[in-house]
Chains A and B, each alone.
Chain A
Amino acid sequence: MTDQPPLAIQVSNVVHRYKQLVVLDDINLDVPAGSSLALIGPDGVGKSTLFSLLAGAKRLQQGSIHVLGTNITKAEARGQIQPRLAFMPQGLGRNLYATLSVRENVDYFAGLFGSAEEARIAHLLDAIGLAPFADRPAGKLSGGMKQKLGLCCALVHEPDILLLDEPTTGVDPLSRLHFWQLIDEIRTARPGMTVVVGTSYMEEAERFDRVLLMQSGRFIEDGEPSSLIARYSAGSLEDVFSILTGNQDPNTADSPMVLRTPPGKNVPIVVEGEGLTRRFGAFTAVDSVNFKVRRGEIFGFLGSNGCGKTTTMKMLTGLLPSTEGTARLFGKPVDARDIEARRKVGYMSQGFSLYGELTVQQNFELHAQLFGLTDDARRARIDELVERFGLQRFCTTAANSVPLGVRQRLSLAIAILHGPAVLILDEPTSGVDPAARAMFWKEIERLSREQQITVFISTHFMSEAERCDRIAFMHAGRIIATGTPSELCDAQGVSNLEGAFIAYMREGGATESETRPLSVTTSDSPPSAPRLFSPRRFWAVCRREAIEIIREPVRFAIALAGTLILSLAFGFGISFDVEGVSLGVLDRDRTPSSRAYIEEFTSSPYFDLVLVAKDDAEVTRALRTNRVTLALDIPPGFGRDLLSGRRPAVAAWIDGAMPFRAETVGGYAQAIHLRAVRSIARRTVASPPAYRLEPRFRYNQAFRSLDAMVPVTIGVLLALIPAMLTALTVVREKELGSIVNLYVTPLTRPEFLLGKQIPYIAIGFINFILLTLFAVTLFGLEIKGSLVALVLGGLLYVAGTTAVGFVTSAATRSQTAAIFSTAIIIMLPAVEYSGMMQPVASLEPVERWIGTLFPTAHFVRVSVGTFAKGMGFGELMPTLAILAAFWPALIGIALAFTRKQET
């Protein structure tokens, strides 16, 4: 870049609100090209919002942002600079695709940026150290490797600006170290690249040229790390931060409130793990772990996300059986079936598993009742805890609506409600601000020191680990060191726990694979791709979606077999055939004539004689038990009267419980009756009928329900399942977070939607072929008209119905909403107004219009036309033309609902 602007990023007067809440409050920021910058501050101060705005993922509300000299308010301008930008959002692997392999993820991103040189990608993977894991699904990588993969995907197109939002949160210390080393190398290899990083680990920020401290949507300090520390005469950036926010005095907050030494060697062991192992399939989550915790001790488990902390804790509580080894509580092996042992344990899981819809008081009551506290004891205990944890104000509030810090206190209060001797706390402070965390720890220390409660706690914060009596470093399912914090530091000759952890990890051979210099991976000419529609990006999306569907068994099974199962149900379950109706007779005449009369009924295919009754009561009972549907009552003297030219009336009872069947049966009975009396009385009454009227059933001479219904159900089913599946696609990415790749890469909306749609059209078309084969083989239908018209109609139709799903998916925010609204939208025009329940010609004008605006009614014309009515291609041309218009129209609507930015 010869005309590189002096500023990579320029932010002026940016204000951002979520509803009433101000998240960014008049932010101004200049970042020179080629510099590095860290944004630091606890969760929820507005870091992520600022990153999203810089990357163009979120719509700017107020102020202006220039990136690489371009104002990014306009979509056009964003499109120009996006190929030069890379953004890694917060959350481990949040913009990656869990079912895709490492290599497939990188290929996908390369495809989006149009630069997929085979050799370069292989080189990059090699340099970052991911080459040995190229075939492993991204979802099965450790946190550190996920972040490396994220970085690899971000670097694949050689960006000029790299935006990293909390890239190391939840990652083990060694991987964190590696990650930052990698960033340093990249910066050396590409000196012109600007790097902006957000982090809540203050100590990490010290390696950057410049840090910005953030609090409540504002920058509260800005400068070089070392000069800031010097200016406030603090020991670290964390101290600087504490001093500036005034939330806590660093000198008192760190010291335990109760100064009692940890329990000695003679105190009994309460919690014990011996060779504890847990495997999930081939994966070993916890690998022969040993530990002993004494009564009243605070024992910490320190490790990254996914290192086996939670699994170990679940084995201790009995939630998960161990594969090998034993977990002991109070010297007895943990037994999941031992209900009584659970009374001694209090457990708090990650993310505070309270009943969010119940109030604080109701949560207390429920837990107290489940632990069998008597009414008096319950009331006293709840009052005591409410008082002690300062929950009075929140008693009648739903647990969901209280602040996070309060919810955490409530969880702890509930965990100790029944007075357990052991507390097992799984990352109890995640997502809570530093002040709330400090309060929480004071409470833990009080419980341990004053009430001799044994505390087994896991965390990934070093500062919390320092407050434990003893800690175990855990990595990849193993404990790599155990001891008091100072013992561990001394043993490795380092000053802090983080250093000790890294040293132990290296000692244990837990180094990650070798990395290579990155310089070779850079090239000079960033490839250019068409702006509006690039076939390469389109195929990247298409391929990715196809792989994802195939790798998800439930969705794939429903996609392939769902319509077939339902076609059986619809084909056989919606039938208007009336055949084999059970017939009962009460013959009071018993003459050859009456027998001939009955014979006329039983010889027809419609009636099966099941009962010859002796009296009225038997007839009544048979009707009531559904044994007979039609009962004939032939009067005495029937034959004599008939032959002598009189008109003896025959009485008949029809089961009226099913009116449709009753009416049809009535029609048949009348016709057979007439035929019977005529043939019996032929000798006496010989007048010809006044006229002849025999209805002729067209298109379906056999008058078989299946022949009429199956072509319609094909239409209904191809609307239902394919549309419900596509309804999940876009909104699913919104929920998982990978939608950000649409926001911040050159990927355009048409490429995104069409690329995603193609695999579903293919699945829908396969379904159509299968349903047609089903119709011909299983249901015995015949294609009488143009096969070409039918197949073309099927293809156009699934293109249309899958597009319907995209419309709802683009317009909704949650998968549940998308699937429900799709089902409702489809039910009416596809099931009610398509001709399945009643012919389209009989619909009211409004209903018919709604039906016309949906593809099903048109496809049904084609399928009924070709299956039953023998129509040719020419006759169906106009209908096919209308059908063809739905796809572009619906995709157009879906495009209008899809945003290239989050609002």
Chain B
Amino acid sequence: MRLRTVIALVKKELTSLSRDRFLLGFVVFAFTAMIYLQATGNTQDIHNASVAIADEDRSELSRRIAGAFQPPFFKTPQMVDSVAIDRLMGGGQATFALDIPPNFEAELLSGKSPSIQLLVDATAMSQAGLGASQIQSMVEQEVRDFRRGRTVIAASPPLELRNAFNQSLVSTWFTGVVELLDNTTMLAILLAGAAIVREREHGTLEHLLVMPVRPVEIMTAKIVANGLVIAILAALSLRFVLQGILGLQVAGSSALFLLGVVSYLFFACSLGIFLGTVSRSMPQLSLLFMLTVLPMSLLSGGNTPREAMPEWLQNVMSLSPSTHYVSFTQAVLLRGADISTVWPHLTIITIIGLFFFAFSLSRFRRFLAAQN
């Protein structure tokens, strides 16, 4: 491999990319507006949850409880008969239903320990669990306020919960980082794959091959050029979108994070080149892209914690650098880990990346030989 050749080819790749307005526009969009929109749109907090309340007690306490459901967490409760609850929940119009029985207040005050029913539509997984515990503590709060001064309260010993690394659980920090990771994967594969398909469609690859240029130089240049663009944009996005707009407080070292990005891009661009060689056109590339990128992103532990997956799947996915990349990034950016704790991830990413580079290169060679 000769440096001069690679540099000339890198320059060419960068010029080509800068002329592809559509792709470039998409790349910039993905690292700015898209991250912002997805980070703020996919907040995992309770938002606008729909509630139906059957108030059969019609007491001060029951009115207080109903009044506790407030936007933006809850929509204004639908006050209904207890018979209407089934219909509302079946039709998906109410995710939660609270049934306050007759004489609830009176029985409570006389210490009879009455029951109150909370029905949860457990098919609405994104809200069911959190919403149920939120409603429980809201009711608890209202009951306590109501009883204050009326009866003697025997309080339990408290559990003082504190959240490490993200004290107030700002969910955009997490979703923003996840989107940044997903988008680096997506764009690395897309750009590198498109760089191959573009040359294939224009018939320029064979032209390179009659010149004193080796396949390894072509492939290295593509990885360096596209990786460079993505690494720079990822750095800018971290600084200005995540830290600037979303207010992320980076716990660890940004430089260490970028080191991880670079070693991961080596793998992701190699994968993109591999996909570029197996697809005949942009449409085929985009279909293959969906079938590889979506599983890689979804199963790498970014969106869903790994421990929630079956063990066999965790084992399979631990072979994917994306999994280590996600663990690495969350550790560095969110938990403030340093190199002494994340080096195993970095090493694995680099080793698998090298392995995949070699694999893609052999595939690329065969692909070039088969061009006719």
Contact = CB atoms under 8 A, between A and B. Distances in A.
A231 interface: no
A353 B50 contact: no
Given A349-B207, A562-B291, A698-B121, A656 B8 contact: no
A370 B122 contact: no
A116 interface: no
B162 A340 contact: no
A566 interface: yes
B31 interface: no
Contact of B165 (A565, A572, A655, A660): A655
A653 B331 contact: no
A219 to B, nearest CB: 36
A347 B210 contact: yes
Contact of A626 (B113, B206, B331): B331
A820 B190 CA distance: 12
Given A624-B331, A625-B341, A842 B95 contact: yes
Given A371-B212, A624-B335, A838 B47 contact: yes
A572 B309 contact: yes
Contact of B136 (A565, A576, A693, A868): A693
B156 A647 contact: yes
A709 interface: yes
B244 interface: no
Interface stretch (B125-133, B228-236, B257-265, B350-358): B125-133
Given A724-B287, A816-B283, A705 B113 contact: no
Contacts of B118: 693-696
B33 interface: no
B309 A690 contact: no
A815 B162 contact: no
Contact of B120 (A362, A649, A695, A705): A695
A362 B295 CA distance: 40
A228 to B, nearest CB: 40
B287 A651 contact: no
Interface residues of A, number: 136
B166 A624 contact: no
A697 B313 contact: no
Interface string A483-516: 0000000000000000000000000000000000
Most buried by B among A343, A355, A674: A355
A839 B126 contact: yes
A882 interface: no
Nearest to A314: B372
Interface string B91-134: 01111000000001000100101111111111111111110110
Interface stretch (A20-28, A196-204, A318-326): A318-326
B283 A819 contact: yes
A663 to B, nearest CB: 6
Nearest to B48: A842
A835 B92 contact: yes
B315 interface: no
A128 B25 CA distance: 53
Interface stretch (A205-213, A236-244, A402-410, A577-585): A577-585
A663 B210 contact: no
Interface in A854-892: 861, 864-865, 868-869, 871, 875
A65 to B, nearest CB: 36
B207 A659 contact: no
B82 interface: no
A670 interface: yes
Given A651-B160, A842-B49, A699 B94 contact: no
A669 B341 contact: no
A843 B126 CA distance: 13
B143 A691 contact: yes
Contacts of B126: 576, 837-839
Contacts of A667: 129-130, 133
Given A342-B210, A370-B9, A691-B114, A562 B124 contact: no
Given A573-B303, A842-B95, 14 more contacts: A358-B16, A366-B8, A566-B290, A572-B310, A576-B129, A621-B341, A667-B133, A692-B116, A695-B120, A703-B122, A728-B283, A838-B126, A844-B48, A875-B90
State the 8 A-B residue pairs at the shortest beta-carbon distance, nearest first: A573-B298, A656-B163, A667-B133, A569-B295, A700-B122, A656-B166, A369-B8, A660-B44
Interface of B: 4-5, 7-9, 11-12, 15-16, 19-20, 41-42, 44-45, 47-50, 75, 89-90, 92-95, 104, 108, 111, 113-130, 132-133, 135-136, 139, 143, 147, 153-167, 169-171, 173-174, 202-204, 206-214, 279-284, 286-288, 290-291, 294-295, 297-299, 303-305, 307-310, 313, 327, 330-331, 334-337, 341, 369, 371-372
